[in-house]
Amino acid sequence: MSRLAYIGRPWVVFDAGNKEHRRHFAEFQKFRTWGRCPVRFIVSDDGGDLLTMIQHRLIEYYSNKEFGKISS
């Protein structure tokens, strides 16, 4: 394994319920760079690209928060 893997920012799955993750995304939206983010978000199997996945999860999070969990 490369030495860079040990000193790089840790990889995490974006969690819309995590206030810090939402703050990191808001900073990305403001500055248009992930350079200030202390972690690297990974794309899970259900998403195509990182930004689309995060946006979908945030929409779901805030919709559930406002309207409650909607059963399908």
Domain presence at residue 35: yes
Name the stretches of the chain with pLDDT < 70: 1, 4-5, 46-47, 71-72
Note whether residue 70 is domain-resident.
no
Is residue 71 one of the residues assigned to a domain? Answer: no
Question: Residue 17 has which token pair?
Answer: 């319920």
What is the residue range of 30's domain?
A: 4-65
Which pLDDT score is estimated for 4?
65
- Is 54 a member of any domain? yes
Which pLDDT score is estimated for 70? Answer: 72
Q: How many domains does the chain have?
A: 1
pLDDT given at position 66 = 93
The string of pLDDT tens digits covering residues 45-63 is 766 899 999 999 999 999 9
